[in-house]
């Protein structure tokens, strides 16, 4: 009790239980969500029937069940499985997560977590007993005390994020949901540091990033069982990895499974979009899309085959009532006829894309909205287009329904390829360097460029001095011929000076020429702006490019530089800019 004798009651705070590193950990809701839950709980008798949206509307809390459910994607609950095991006295239950991790409930005191392994290997071990098992416990063990204030209620823009091959999206074998959570968290932090004025003036709220999963639906078609029958028993883990990840590329080149993939991606983005509008009726912002690795190629093909007119859309059901038709693909020039895009009928009244070389013929679904910007992270689009036989993208070509396109990659990413050289094949030029989120270039890159400039200065000065010395030596007059050559030298002098007006200042001349060179025209694929954007490697990465190759392909989810570029380009379309332009 303080000197004034004033009593202050303890403020209640709500927590939820989540499995982290094989342990059930109690995590606090953010301050706003906790307050909403407490107000709903204290409101009256019907509180048990209430559903409270939390985490920016991505999760619903059912107060009566005391359960937290994901809205836009599926999550399995270990607590529900445990409850059934206890009430029915039926143990030895297995709970398999989307990334193939397995939790086995042996009895109330023994629950074990296993890493994902498929089939028995050459040593005869069973899949649930390989690796070192971890014990799963229930209850409050590690209570996090880091309570966030919450996310801005206003949503300015919606971005769908499509993953690449395999069920895991980073080196920690996390799902697309977890990686997009990181991407969203980084964006919220950058909004506070780089768009502070706009936030203080209440010009902006936040950008919502929602994941789109196509791997699970693809591998639930029974193809895994078919593959397992023909997979050799040796090097089991490597073969399982191949079947679960690398083969996704081959699936996309198969007419049957390519159709499944594009249908899943488009239908999921349409479904989530309509669900999002239902839950956010005041949303007035636009939509953009982002794809990582193979996911970017899937989106590229879908965007290429959209129609400029969306037709009539049933806003309640999200059904496009216009006749489904596929648009002509890229308007390529200097390409043989057999590798051009064209439309053909399949006899049922529907059109499908018949591309000839490389790309399979499938019916491309329609999106019920027009994306504003397409972001590609670590994308193989350029490679796939080249393999399909396309040598050049017409500078006038642009997506039928999407204005912007940014190809973002790490310089050591082995899967990434450039796009701009396909638009301007005859000119060599560097991609746009993405600024560091704290401004300027990374120190080691500035040092490298400084050393390069210094060596060029020394080289040019040395060559200039040698040229001058050589000219002085070769022009030494002969006493006998001096009188007869005087006239010739006088006539030849202007020619010599016009040939090399200043050998010493070669670099200055070249720099002046560079300044006069007009900017590169990379066509209309990104509205006339540059398309290829390269990240700056970290100092430790520059020591060994091969060592960090895999990591560089999976770095985008937590890259502040990548996220800041996405935020900058989206908010620029709304007339909102960074507090201080980065250089």
Q: Where are the alpha helices (DSSP H) in 280-314?
A: 294-304
509 has a pLDDT exceeding 60: no
Residues 422, 379 share a domain: yes
One domain, residues 61 and 167 = no
Is 517 inside a domain boundary?
no
- Structural domain includes residue 241: yes
**Per-residue model confidence (pLDDT) at position 421:** 96
409 with 531, same domain: the answer is yes
Looking at residue 4, what is its pLDDT? 60
Cβ pair 360, 254 in contact under 8 A: yes
pLDDT for residue 118: 43
Examine the domain organization and report whether 240 and 389 are in the same domain: yes
**161-179 pLDDT per residue, tens:** 999 999 888 888 889 999 9
Lowest mean pLDDT across 81-85, 382-386, 455-459, 523-527: 455-459
Q: Is 395 found in the same domain as 299? A: yes
Out of 90, 115, 140, a domain closes at: 115
Both 97 and 245 in a single domain? no
pLDDT grade, residue 234 (50/70/90)? very high
For 427-436, what is each residue's pLDDT tens digit? 999 999 999 9
Do 179 and 37 sit in the same domain of this protein?
no
Query: Of the candidates 50, 78, 106, which is a domain's last residue?
Result: 78
Which phi and psi (to 5°) does residue 208 adopt? -95, 130
What is residue 401's predicted lDDT score, i.e. its pLDDT?
97
Mind listing the pLDDT tens digit for each residue in 538-570?
887 666 777 778 888 999 999 999 999 999 999
Q: Is residue 426 part of a domain?
A: yes
- Annotated active-site residue 42? The verdict is no
Burial of residue 305, with CB atoms counted within 10 A of its CB: 0-12 exposed, 13-18 middle, 19 or more buried? buried
251 and 291 co-located in one domain: yes
| Same-domain pairing of 254 and 175 | yes
Looking at the fold, whether 562 and 423 belong to one and the same domain comes out as yes
- pLDDT at residue 220 above 70? yes
Answer yes or no: do 276 and 361 share one domain. yes
Identified catalytic residue from 34, 293, 296, 552: 293
Q: Could you tell me whether strands 286-292 and 206-212 are parallel, antiparallel, or unpaired per DSSP bridges?
A: unpaired
Residue 85 lies in a domain: yes
pLDDT on residue 26? 87
pLDDT of 456-489, one tens digit each? 655 566 666 666 655 655 554 444 334 444 444 4
What range defines the domain where residue 56 resides? 11-78
Contacts from 181-186 at CB under 8 Å and sequence distance 24+? 182/557, 182/558, 183/209, 183/556, 183/557, 183/558, 183/563, 184/208, 184/209, 186/558, 186/559, 186/560, 186/563
pLDDT of residue 119: 43
Q: Contact 375/293 with Cβ under 8 angstroms?
A: no
Say how many domains are in the chain.
Answer: 3
Q: How far apart are CA 353 and CA 345, in angstroms?
A: 9
What pLDDT sits at residue 101?
60
Asked if residues 420 and 531 have their Cβ atoms less than 8 Å apart, the reply is: yes
Q: pTM for the whole thing?
A: 0.72
Residue 29 domain-assigned? yes
Considering the domain boundaries, does residue 569 fall inside one? yes
Residue 302 has pLDDT above 70, yes or no: yes
φ, ψ of residue 543 to 5 degrees: the values are -75, -35
CA-CA distance, 497 to 492, in Å (whole number)? Answer: 9
Specify the CATH number for the domain of residue 430: 3.40.50.1820
How does the average pLDDT of the chain come out, rounded? 77
- Say if CB 544 and CB 412 are below 8 A apart: no
254 plus 378 within the same structural domain? yes
Structural domain contains residue 376? yes
> Of 355, 322, 351, 317, which is closest to residue 336 (Cα–Cα)?
355
The reply to whether 150 falls in a domain is no
What's the CA gap between 504 and 493, in Å, rounded?
17
């Amino acid at each position: 009790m303080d000197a004034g004798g004033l009593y202050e009651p303890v403020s209640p705070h709500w927590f939820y239980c989540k499995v982290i590193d094989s342990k059930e950990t109690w995590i606090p809701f953010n301050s706003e969500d906790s307050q909403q839950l407490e107000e709903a709980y204290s409101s009256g008798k019907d509180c048990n029937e209430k559903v409270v949206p939390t985490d920016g509307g991505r999760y619903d809390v059912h107060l009566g069940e005391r359960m937290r459910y994901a809205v836009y994607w599926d999550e399995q609950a270990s607590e529900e499985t445990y409850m059934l095991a206890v009430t029915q006295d039926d143990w030895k239950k297995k709970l398999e997560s989307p990334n193939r991790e397995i939790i086995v409930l042996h009895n109330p005191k023994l629950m074990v977590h296993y890493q994902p392994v498929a089939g028995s290997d050459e040593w005869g071990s069973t899949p649930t007993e390989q690796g070192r098992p971890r014990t799963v416990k229930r209850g409050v063990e590690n209570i996090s005390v880091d309570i966030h204030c919450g996310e801005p209620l206003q949503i300015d823009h919606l971005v769908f994020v499509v993953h690449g091959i395999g069920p895991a999206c980073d080196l920690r074998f996390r799902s697309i949901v977890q990686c997009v959570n990181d991407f969203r968290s980084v964006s919220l932090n950058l909004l506070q540091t780089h768009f502070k004025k706009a936030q203080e003036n209440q010009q902006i709220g936040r950008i919502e990033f929602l994941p789109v999963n196509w791997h699970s639906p693809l591998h639930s078609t029974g193809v895994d069982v078919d593959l397992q029958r023909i997979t050799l028993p040796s090097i089991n883990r490597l073969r399982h990895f191949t079947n679960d990840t690398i083969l996704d590329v081959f699936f996309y080149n198969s007419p049957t499974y390519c159709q499944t993939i594009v249908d899943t991606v488009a239908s999921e983005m349409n479904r989530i979009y309509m669900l999002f509008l239902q839950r956010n009726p005041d949303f007035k912002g636009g939509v953009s899309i982002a794809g990582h690795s193979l996911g970017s190629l899937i989106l590229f093909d879908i965007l290429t085959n959209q129609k400029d007119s969306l037709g009539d859309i049933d806003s309640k059901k999200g059904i496009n009532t216009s006749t489904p038709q596929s648009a002509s693909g890229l308007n390529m020039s200097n390409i043989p006829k057999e590798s051009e895009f064209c439309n053909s009928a399949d006899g049922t009244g529907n059109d499908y894309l018949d591309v000839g070389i490389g790309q399979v013929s499938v019916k491309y679904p329609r999106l019920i909205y027009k994306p504003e910007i397409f972001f590609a992270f670590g994308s193989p689009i350029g490679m796939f287009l080249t393999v399909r036989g396309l040598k050049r993208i017409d500078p006038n070509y642009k997506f039928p329904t999407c204005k912007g396109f940014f190809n973002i990659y790490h310089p050591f990413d082995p899967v990434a390829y450039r796009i701009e050289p396909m638009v301007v094949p005859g000119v060599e030029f560097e991609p746009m360097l993405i600024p560091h989120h704290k401004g300027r270039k990374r120190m080691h890159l500035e040092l490298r460029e400084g050393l390069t400039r210094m060596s060029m200065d020394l080289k040019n000065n040395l060559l200039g001095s040698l040229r001058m010395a050589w000219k002085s030596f070769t022009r030494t007059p002969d006493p006998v011929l001096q009188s007869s050559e005087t006239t010739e030298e006088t006539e030849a002098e202007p020619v010599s000076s016009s040939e090399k007006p200043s050998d010493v200042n070669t670099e200055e001349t070249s720099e002046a020429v560079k300044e006069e060179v007009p900017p590169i025209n990379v066509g209309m694929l990104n509205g006339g702006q540059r398309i290829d954007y390269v990240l700056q490697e970290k100092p430790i990465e520059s020591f060994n490019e091969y060592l960090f190759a895999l990591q560089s392909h999976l770095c985008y989810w937590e890259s502040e530089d990548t996220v800041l570029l996405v935020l900058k380009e989206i908010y620029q379309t709304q007339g909102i800019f960074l507090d201080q332009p980065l250089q």
